[in-house]
Structure 1
Amino acid sequence: MPNREYKQTGEKILGDILTPSSIVFFGASNNPMTFGTGQFLNIINEYRRNVYPIHPKEEEIFGVKAYKKVEDTPEDADLAIMVLPTHLVPKFLACCGEKGIKRAIIISAGFKEVGEVDLQNEIISIAKKYGIRFLGPNCIGICNAYENLNTTWIPYFPKKGGISIVSQSGTFACHPFPYFIENGIGIDKSISVGNEADIDIVDCLEYLEDESNTKAIAMYIEGIKRGGKFIEVARRVNKKKPIVVLYVGGTEAGSRAGKSHTSALSGPDHVYDAVFKQCGLIRAYNIEELFDYSLALASQPLPKEGRIGILTDSGGSGAVMADTCERMGLNVPTLSEDTQNEIRSIVPSIATVTNPIDITTDFDVSHFYVEIPEILLKDPSIDGILLYGLFGPSIFKRFFKSAKTEIDGLMPMYLTMLDELLNLCERYRKPVLASSFIGRRDEEVVAYFQDHDVPVYPSPERAAKAMSALVEYSRAKRKEKSDR
């Protein structure tokens, strides 16, 4: 259980860990095939502040001067990172304490999660003696995108964005980074807490509460140790920014896995579900939903209600989105006669204009990207828009590939329309979510949307479900306001 006797403010503790001015690193060598070396290289590849590797034999580690002992380093570092054999952690943690280092990330495993309770208690005791606050043990580290600091083993850097991750699994704190890059998802911070011997998920929530770059918090939870405090803090933080939670300890198999993974103490699913609802948190039921919902909540304005307009170039995708919306408690209303007539005046006669709006083979792309979105956005009976069918220059280039015909000037035309759509989104302050089976590498329009904070999901259902998360959080905010 985390010891609170020597606790400082959560902002100060995690602020030091996520924005250190210098780092001492235990566990790197000139062997690139070790876990610690990979993490060390990850840090020095991007981080432009002092990093001091500690090694008993090496003079340099991949070009960086190494030190035999932490006492030999030229300054008192803000942070120690340890990727050491388990039995060495207490000794070197004490050395850091003697040096005056007050923050640590203990990557090393082999503690309470495998029954070594006494060893975990030993490092807690040492940390308390020297006033050290630490993440772990048995964690993967942290990532701070705005500081170019990635202490994990995954050598990918998502773009800067508004999602912060708090995870009791190291996997979900960093393995999704390549996926984020492929889908244009930006992050602020990612924190792996491991066994939570000291700093826990409640501390992380307190820290992220007032972090200006964090617009939404994604949490992977296997168990909550301080239930009462979690409810208090989560309820307070959720009033300021949305929290999305994925809880996996509610089944027998999930509970068993969590206990062996991070020594987490889980509880029945219905109990945790009630806690999340009590706090107004958005619950995800798989990792896909966790990041889908967080992306929408971090980037889009909240809808007033749940009345959704659907614009598509395919009947099937429109039907799927409409069906998913209603299953998720949203409404896909029939548009008014005036709105239908306005749309009918610019689309082919075979188009459907009731809602969903299916423009079928209308190749006047200004209708899809500007004119119809504006009609829907200005309609007071529509609270948000779902789009399917982001086809742009890449499609047309492929048409003319065999004809060896160059298609020039398309992208500037698209950029003009896309900029106009972004201006419409800003003017009307309604959420717009898109979906496309074409990814950002194969279609410039998809990349442009994602690079300008309009989420593009890989399937129509996922976009519709993400919209439901926006509506759910908006309703929770309204309820909280009415209960005051």
Structure 2
Amino acid sequence: MTTKTGRTAVEEILKRVAKDGRSALTAPEGRAVCEAYGIPTPQERLATSAEEAVAQAGELGLPVVLKIVSPDILHKTEAGGVLVGLGSEQEVADGYAKILANAKAYDASARITGVQVQQMLTSGQEVIIGAVTDPSFGKIVAFGLGGILVEVLKDVTFRLAPTSTEEALSMVDGIAAAEILNGVRGSEPVDKAALAEVVHRLSRLVTDFPQLAEVDLNPVLATGAGATAVDVRILVDPAAAEPVRFSQDEILAAMNRIMKPAAVAVIGASAEDGKIGNSVMKNLVNGGYAGEIYPINPKAAEILDRKAYPSIADVPGDVDVAVFAIPAKFVPAALEEAGEKGVAGAILIPSGFGETGNIELQNEVLAIARKHGVRILGPNIYGYYYTPENLSATFCTPYDVKGGVALSSQSGGIGMAILGFSRSAGMGVSAIVGVGNKADIDEDDLLTFFEHDDNTELVAMHLEDLKDGRAFAETAKRVSAKKPVVVLKAGRTSEGAKAAGSHTGALAGNDRVYDDILRQSGVIRAPGLNDLLEYARGVPKLPTPKGENVVIITGAGGSGVLLSDACVDNGLTLMRIPDDLDAAFREYIPPFGAAGNPVDITGGEPPSTYRNTIALGLSDDRIHSLVLGYWHTIVTPPMVFAELVVDVVEEFRRKGVHKPVVASLSGDVEVEQASEHLYAHGVVAYPYTTEKPVAVLGAKYRWARSAGLLP
């Protein structure tokens, strides 16, 4: 796409900008950069006198636009440095003088290169295309409609750079007002492929040149014949640098030793109840961990019937993991010894590092770890659990219910909420991991391990930020193709956008970027903590659907309406029931019931009506998922309903028919036990809510779509 000559041209421009010590390109330089990467711009010239401006306007053809060119005036409009629609030679000459006067009044010390004389484009739909350097994700590109829709409604989409042309087209189609681009009220449809190509080319530009901090193409005029960047604004950051990254093999080598250690040392182990070092020791010993456990305490000879050592250096064998239960100020010296011992992971439980403003100490500890090739988990964490190894390396309560869900949290409090929910719901977990300050190990390291962990079926993560969002997005995209990844992103607002220096930067509110890029990576985003936990528990229970057709079978019309709303809210497709299937359902429901979708069997029906309609839904290949709405009656009591549903679902499973079935139960307190019975047998069911079961089904569908498992 981009020739070697084009890249060389951009390199020369950026060298000149760096030599001048500038943080921004002039408009002509910006146009030259766009031209080098095949991004269309209007014809233009640079005038240094009124006479020259008039002559150039004649060459380009009136009317024209005049813009001030100054390395010191970034916001040209604010400085009165833009005049449009100049239709005569006199207007051009007067405009030239006016722009210079405005610029000097705005900033008397500003260096004036000249005035840009630009061909004026008079038709087309205004859009904005830009790129910014996000603190979490690095280079991202943005697309939105121009004018009020982008300024007020923030109708914009984001993707990681570089984008493919297909991803760029999904951005164009992904804004809420995309229909405008298709032509409304007689207007001409725009060339969306041309817009996508501009996005794609811009994404390549900022990828090739990381020092391009922000690029604004605003507006870009789109017509049926193409797309042209009318105004170009480019900011540079010569100090731009990529974060330190480990290879997949390096991550796996360390994480396998951390999660499956043959030996664990507890630095700060204690025999005194109530001490963190005592709690960690008790959890390791009493939790059934079969590896070697080495207490490290210079003042003790023995702790919990195990020989204690003054230093980790005194331990006779190899050590994979060192759990630190000592005050923060003592960590650097102890970590030096652990590094020399060859440990793979340092689990830093203590607080008093970056979270309290002590960045210097945290950086010192990280430097020591890097020197010795040690990976740090934390600091400021509750520790971690890995149930396949009976490993409870934590000072919190132990947990030993094994299963396929791996969970992580950035917050200790959220970690304990995860633990409590898991225990209450009987949810089997493979791991629960605290990441705390994330000085080193973060979510993409964990994802890399869980991707290859046969004990993990789903990964659920609470996070407040991402240290390296690009690494996370790339890893999550790979992992979510095999296993569902659920994320609760805390902090939905961003004050940082207020200080942004460009339109694109101002639009790149933190949560908006997270939302688009997490979706691009195939991640299931949970709106709240309970949603995260319910998705983690329920999504693995549901078979992967084979298609989009969802049918509601309900004993209560009101529940059917709410379940329909919930399906729409969660992106599910309510099947249009064909005539033959409608007739088949009517064979089982009373005349005053309703077929269609929802299928309303009414509340006074016996168990056989539920059984027959559910069996029909499972037997017809055109139906891919069932949503059941139960209404408590004496005719069909809650446990009778639950047992018949389990019976018919298991009957079809034995025949090889595996469809997702979720249920909403309305009634007296007996529906709680009925819901538990259903859930225990693979039917995701909840009492007193129509939203939750459908939300879990919607999460399963979102994952199946992103993983390419649905036609």
Which bin holds the TM-score, normalised by the shorter protein? 0.7 to 0.9
SS at match of 2:432: strand
Tell me which residue corresponds to 1:152: 394
Q: Which of 619, 639, 653 is the equivalent residue of 1:378?
A: 619
Q: Distance in 2 between matches of 1:206 and 1:29?
A: 34
Distance 1:64 1:435, change over 3 A: farther
Q: Quick check: 268-277 or 242-251, which moved more?
A: 242-251
Tell me which residue corresponds to 2:652: 424
Distance 1:376 1:31, change over 3 A: same
- How far residue 441 of structure 1 moved from its aligned partner, in angstroms, is 11
Contact map agreement 1:2 1:198 (CA 8 A) in 2: no
Letter in 1 for 2:544: L
- How far residue 52 of structure 1 moved from its aligned partner, in angstroms, is 2.3
Matched, 1:40 2:281: yes
Pairing 1:29-68 to 2, within 5 Å after superposition: 29-49=270-290, 50-68=292-310
Q: Which of 698, 704, 707 is the equivalent residue of 1:468?
A: 698
Q: Distance in 1 between matches of 2:300 and 2:347?
A: 23
Contact map agreement 2:642 2:678 (CA 8 A) in 1: no
Pairing 1:296-315 to 2, within 5 Å after superposition: 296-315=538-557
Matched, 1:11 2:241: no
Distance 1:186 1:389, change over 3 A: farther
Q: Quick check: 223-232 or 118-127, which moved more?
A: 223-232
Q: Quick check: 278-287 or 470-479, which moved more?
A: 470-479
Q: String of CA shifts for 1:247-300, please: whole Å, max 9, x gaps.
A: 223314899xxxxxxxxxx96111112211222322222112222233343232
Letter in 1 for 2:646: L
- How far residue 62 of structure 1 moved from its aligned partner, in angstroms, is 4.4
Contact map agreement 2:418 2:533 (CA 8 A) in 1: no
Pairing 1:88-237 to 2, within 5 Å after superposition: 88-157=330-399, 159-237=401-479
Q: Distance in 2 between matches of 1:207 and 1:13?
A: 9
- How far residue 415 of structure 1 moved from its aligned partner, in angstroms, is 6.5
Structure 2 unaligned residues grouped into runs of 5+: 1-241, 498-507
Pairing 1:251-266 to 2, within 5 Å after superposition: 251-252=493-494
- How far residue 48 of structure 1 moved from its aligned partner, in angstroms, is 3.0
Q: String of CA shifts for 1:40-78, please: whole Å, max 9, x gaps.
A: 323322233232222333444445544333344343222
Matched, 1:455 2:684: yes
Q: Distance in 2 between matches of 1:355 and 1:135?
A: 51
Tell me which residue corresponds to 1:434: 663
- How far residue 390 of structure 1 moved from its aligned partner, in angstroms, is 9.8
Letter in 1 for 2:381: C
- How far residue 376 of structure 1 moved from its aligned partner, in angstroms, is 0.7
Q: Which of 511, 514, 528 is the equivalent residue of 1:286?
A: 528
Distance 1:376 1:178, change over 3 A: same
Pairing 1:339-358 to 2, within 5 Å after superposition: 339-346=581-588, 352-358=594-600
Distance 1:432 1:5, change over 3 A: closer
Q: String of CA shifts for 1:66-120, please: whole Å, max 9, x gaps.
A: 4333344343222111122111111221222233323221111111222212211
SS at match of 2:293: strand
Q: Distance in 1 between matches of 2:668 and 2:530?
A: 16
Q: Distance in 1 between matches of 2:564 and 2:430?
A: 33
Q: String of CA shifts for 1:364-401, please: whole Å, max 9, x gaps.
A: 54654x53322112223322112344989xx979xxxx
Contact map agreement 2:266 2:323 (CA 8 A) in 1: yes
Tell me which residue corresponds to 1:477: 707
Tell me which residue corresponds to 1:402: none
Structure (1 or 2) with the larger CA radius of gyration: 2
Letter in 2 for 1:471: Y
Q: String of CA shifts for 1:18-49, please: whole Å, max 9, x gaps.
A: 11122111244333333443333233222332
Q: CA RMSD in A?
A: 3.7
Q: Distance in 2 between matches of 1:198 and 1:69?
A: 24
Distance 1:416 1:468, change over 3 A: closer
Q: Distance in 2 between matches of 1:297 and 1:117?
A: 39
Tell me which residue corresponds to 2:217: none
Q: String of CA shifts for 1:209-258, please: whole Å, max 9, x gaps.
A: 22223222212222222233233222222222222222223314899xxx
Letter in 2 for 1:88: F
Bigger relative contact order, structure 1 or 2 (CA pairs below 8 A, ≥6 apart): 1
Q: Distance in 1 between matches of 2:670 and 2:420?
A: 13
Distance 1:470 1:87, change over 3 A: same
SS at match of 2:285: helix
Distance 1:320 1:119, change over 3 A: same
Q: Distance in 1 between matches of 2:442 and 2:683?
A: 33
- How far residue 5 of structure 1 moved from its aligned partner, in angstroms, is 7.1
Contact map agreement 1:86 1:108 (CA 8 A) in 2: yes
Q: How many residues align?
A: 456
Q: Distance in 1 between matches of 2:666 and 2:421?
A: 15
Tell me which residue corresponds to 1:242: 484
Letter in 2 for 1:25: V
SS at match of 2:707: helix
Q: Distance in 1 between matches of 2:519 and 2:370?
A: 35
Letter in 2 for 1:376: G
Contact map agreement 1:90 1:126 (CA 8 A) in 2: yes
Contact map agreement 2:243 2:468 (CA 8 A) in 1: no
Q: String of CA shifts for 1:335-368, please: whole Å, max 9, x gaps.
A: 4454455445445666554433444555754654
